[in-house]
Amino acid sequence: MSHTHNHPEGLHCSCCNPMWKSLIPDAKLGETENEKNTENTTLSNTIIFRTGTNPMDENDKNIGYIQTMAEGKDAMVEAVGIKNGYIIATGSYDSVKEKMPEDTAEQIIFGGQTLLPGFFEPHLHILPTAVFNMATDVGPFIGQELRTNVATKEEDKYSTNWIIQTLKKEATDGKKESLSDTWIFGSNADPSLLINHNKEFNAEILDRVSNTQPVFLMNSSMHLAYVNTAAIELAARKGVTLNKDGILKEIAEMEPVLKIIAESINPITFEKKLSTEVDKIFKEASSRGATYLFDAGIEPYSQKGLNQPEYLKEKANKDCSVRIGGALVAITLDDFNNKIENKYYPNKGNDKFNLAYVKVVSDGSNQGLTGYQKAPYDCNENFVLYGEDGTKISEQINEGVFNYGYPIEFNTLISKAVDNNWPVMVHANGDHALDRTINAFKLAGINKSTIESRRDRIEHASLLSNQNMADMRELGISPSFLIGHVGYWGWVFQQTILGKERSNHLDRCYAALHDYDMRITLHSDNSVTPLGPLRMMEQSITRIMEGAPKELNTQVLNKTERITRFQALKAMTYDSAWQCHADKWAGSLEVGKCADFVLLEENPLTYSNKEGVYSAQGMRNIPVLETWKGGIKRYSTADEIKELLLENPSLRVGVKDLV
């Protein structure tokens, strides 16, 4: 299979692709049952958190830590006092106590436990992720690990056969929260990480799932999907002609099938399922210490379909475990002119919900072979190196895609956003897309004098050159790195997709900080990679390529770009708050800010796995004991255990001491 990259329409980026909307039933979404009566009736705690020793064990002399990140510095204090959802005092225990009401409750931080500002997730996609989470996940992850690395059986590793068997089980068993009762719908398939050499999907392969039930499998890049013969025949009965091989390319070929699937979705149950899946994302984020989520692709309302800004605003203003910021995506220049200009205004929200940016998606994804490059990718769409299997290097022509008319539409869009005082965040993965993006910012007239008011961003910023970073510094632009590119895909980038030389330019965190004095952040782009602030810190500190064969020694991608633990922590807290225009509310534990914090079992600044030479390896597994937002405990490991025991009392043996 080989596809040329002609893209007459559509947004060729898995994280902002609008195709997910085709699955929303043609019905107005209103208030769902599980959203009713959920106004915040929980009272914020008045409490002092202070360091000390274990009050239940006099032999445990290990104290805890409170790291405030005040002013972005390595600042430790003895106590923090909160009242009415805000921090009202920090410093010594005595100085904090005298500022608090008499008989204020206290919680001691002991045994190496560490209280930190709540983590930020500065770039994710809430609604598309929620919709596709209703499908059967056949992605490459188990939790925050690559499936192949943690599967104990060969048949459970990430392979074509595992995907087939997982979908086949869905055909047999079904599941209540599935998108459709008619279709078998699989999402997040990532051929680049399959362990088998043949990474091809088509109708013949999907017929192994079912000969009678229609199957739809979405590639994680979202520029390809696959259907089986039953789906091709069903589409024909609906008047839609599909390719006989079952391979669907881009929106033009996928959207008609998604609309057929949407016809089989009950709009009433869909509404409830959507709300439930969104809440699951919030709960997962809270369980991993995140208190602020920044949605990097909210579509402005256009008088039809789901009103995404209002939906998320309503969610945030209820008893929500996280705060929500976001960017309005402009898929075209017309989108900005007709849907954003004079209808929305930047940074007019509050600490619960705030629209801070206009989002522009210049190209696709490098692992999906749609990031816009100056030189062709080193492999074809089956991730076979050119020159292997009889392919000719002269056929090496895929340089990815650019999503806008260039130069007029793209440059005009950036300039219009700037002229309307909108900060701009531009998705740019390929080196060619990065050059065009930086040039568009230059033409828009920004410079480093506007950095504090605007805080323009480049998202992913995968293949930054020295010149790119020098220009960004002069323009006042900061990068947000999808650090999973290094951790999860680093090996396949190096060995197959980009080659060693280009791969060394991936996520240049150290150079951005040290050589070009930029502030950086780290993000998951969820659902592209799993939520996990500690995991992202770990990957930026170690730059270990987790996809490398286990028989090799630990493989590190360009070790000169590793950053320190404190720099990684600052990227996930203080600098993320700044980059998301939320620093007046969160990002550090300072007087007047919201009482948003996370309690970890161990300090990530001193954590050591005590094995091997990479002591930060495994940092992602530091237990999150509690997460607080606005002075209210939103997540607790102990509460999770108690809930689990109530559901299954037989588990009580061996865990009673934990509760």
* C-alpha distance from residue 254 to each of 304, 437, 523 (Å): 21, 29, 28
**What's the per-residue H, E or C state across 440-480?**
HHHHHCCCHHHHHHHCCEEEECCECCHHHHHHHHHHCCEEE
The alpha carbon torsion through 207, 208, 214, 218 (nearest 10 deg) reads -100
Interstrand relation of 184-189 and 136-137 (parallel, antiparallel or unpaired):
parallel
Q: How far is the C-alpha of 506 from the C-alpha of 443, rounded, in Å?
A: 26
Q: How far is the C-alpha of 558 from the C-alpha of 537, rounded, in Å?
A: 16
Instruction: Assess contact for 23 and 303: CB atoms under 8 A.
Output: no
Both tokens of 133, joined, read 């989470």
Phi, psi of 326, rounded to the nearest 5 degrees: -170, 170
pLDDT in tens, 69-108: 999 999 999 999 999 999 999 999 999 999 999 999 999 9
Instruction: Assess contact for 457 and 422: CB atoms under 8 A.
Output: no
By residue count, the chain amounts to: 659
Q: Which residues pair with 633 in a beta bridge?
A: 628
User: How many Cα atoms are found within 13 Å in the side-chain-facing hemisphere of 597?
Assistant: 28
CA 510 to the chain's CA centroid = 21
Q: Which of 540, 421, 411 is nearest to 479 (CA)?
A: 540
CA 155 to the chain's CA centroid = 28
Domains of the chain: 18-36+123-268 (3.10.310.70), 47-119+593-658 (2.30.40.10), 292-579 (3.20.20.140)
Based on the number of CB atoms within 10 Å of its own CB, is 361 exposed (0-12), middle (13-18) or buried (19 or more)?
Answer: buried
Instruction: Assess contact for 458 and 425: CB atoms under 8 A.
Output: yes
SS3 642: helix
State the Rg of the chain over Cα: 25
- Read off the pTM: 0.93
* C-alpha distance from residue 69 to each of 47, 194, 333, 541 (Å): 20, 41, 40, 18
Residue 306 one-letter amino acid? L
Q: How far is the C-alpha of 90 from the C-alpha of 109, rounded, in Å?
A: 14
The DSSP H or E segment spanning 526 is none
Q: How far is the C-alpha of 410 from the C-alpha of 333, rounded, in Å?
A: 7
Spans of the chain below 50 pLDDT: 1-9, 31-39, 653-659
* C-alpha distance from residue 269 to each of 21, 310, 378 (Å): 16, 20, 45
Both tokens of 372, joined, read 């816009």
Instruction: Give residues with Cβ within 8 angstroms of 205, minimum separation 6.
Output: 160, 164, 226
pLDDT at 59: 83
Q: Which of 421, 424, 366 is nearest to 399 (CA)?
A: 366
Based on the number of CB atoms within 10 Å of its own CB, is 181 exposed (0-12), middle (13-18) or buried (19 or more)?
Answer: exposed
Phi, psi of 487, rounded to the nearest 5 degrees: -70, -50
Alpha helices (H) in 16-159, listed in sequence order: 93-97, 126-132, 147-150
pLDDT in tens, 608-628: 998 777 999 999 999 999 999
Q: At what angle do helices 408-419 and 431-444 cross, to 10 degrees?
A: 50
Alpha helices (H) in 227-307, listed in sequence order: 229-237, 250-263, 267-287
SS3 298: strand
Place of tokens 């930190």: 116
Q: How many CB atoms lie within 10 A of CB 379?
A: 24
Q: Which of 446, 570, 556 is nearest to 520 (CA)?
A: 570
The region, left, alpha or beta by phi > 0 then psi within -120 to 50, assigned to residue 521 is: beta
Q: Which of 249, 261, 349, 247 is nearest to 298 (CA)?
A: 349
Q: At what angle do helices 466-475 and 431-444 cross, to 10 degrees?
A: 20
The alpha carbon torsion through 544, 547, 552, 554 (nearest 10 deg) reads 10
